[in-house]
Amino acid sequence: MTKEENIRIITICGSSRFKEETLKLKSLLQSKGYIVFSSENFTKADGIHISKQICDKLAYIHNEKIKMSDMIFVLNKNGYIGESTRQEINFAKSLNIPIKYLE
């Protein structure tokens, strides 16, 4: 089995402003047989304000998804990586989880 064949669970990390791109990537990866986690809340794309407490809970949940993953896929459209995504990348690195970047 190749290294690529061992990857079954992927978490998409990226800005909540990239809702359409995240959903398209999630669908593409799922069609290739991967189990895919991503954010379910696109606060920036949807223009929704959430409290810091809820934001912290969502970050915790996303980190739990990363822990279960064989790889994270960073959706860095136009090279953009925000602070939350940067923290997710560093978290994945601390767990030795492979990271793939869109760009």
Q: In this predicted model, what pLDDT tens digit does every residue of 4-21 receive, in sequence order? A: 567 899 999 998 889 899
Question: Of 1-15, 22-36, 61-75, which range is least confident?
Answer: 1-15
Instruction: Give the separation between CA 77 and CA 66, rounded to whole angstroms.
Output: 20
The CATH number linked to 72 is: 3.40.50.450
Contact 11, 69 (CB under 8 A): yes
Instruction: Give the separation between CA 10 and CA 68, rounded to whole angstroms.
Output: 9
Instruction: Give the separation between CA 35 and CA 9, rounded to whole angstroms.
Output: 5
**What is residue 12's DSSP assignment?**
E
pLDDT class of 98 with cuts at 50, 70, 90: very high
| 93 sits in which H/E element | helix 83-94
Instruction: Provide the domain limits for residue 54.
Output: 4-101
Tokens of 34: 């991967």
Whole-model pTM: value is: 0.86
**60 SS3 class:** helix
Question: How many structural domains is the chain composed of?
Answer: 1
Would you tell me how many other CB atoms lie within 10 Å of the CB of residue 37?
20
**What is residue 16's DSSP assignment?**
T
